[in-house]
Amino acid sequence: MAEEPLEIEVSCYAGYKGEQAPRRFALGRRQVEVTEIIDRWLDPSHAYFKVRSEDGGIYILRHDTAARRWHITLYDTGARSETRLSST
């Protein structure tokens, strides 16, 4: 059984083209600041934003344009293990 995406409140900035871009969102009482929009894409009924937060977390936010609702569809801590290669 698939889980429903978490509904959130999002504060946006509308740029000179009028396109909304998320700047911060609320997870319960916690405000999460968006520091980077990594990617964005559209489908017929949703706009998606892959964003990085101030703590390095990666989120995919989905905006249902008709219902004017936002959801988190993915979260990743953003932590990556680094592999060091030694030269011989």
Per-residue pLDDT of 33-68, as tens digits, reads 999 999 999 999 999 999 999 999 999 999 998 898
Tell me whether residue 82 is in a domain: no
Structural domains counted in the chain:
1
Is 87 among the domain residues? no
| pTM (global) more than 0.85 | no
Contact 14, 80 (CB under 8 A): no
Tell me, yes or no, whether 44 lies in a domain. Answer: yes
71 - beta bridge partners? 7, 62
Q: Where in the sequence is the domain holding 55, given as residue range(s)?
A: 6-76
- Let me know if residue 66 belongs to a domain: yes
Q: Is 51 in contact with 59 (CB distance < 8 Å)?
A: yes
Through-space distance between the first and last CA atoms of the chain, rounded to whole angstroms: 51
**Which residue type sits at 43?**
D
The reply to whether 1 falls in a domain is no
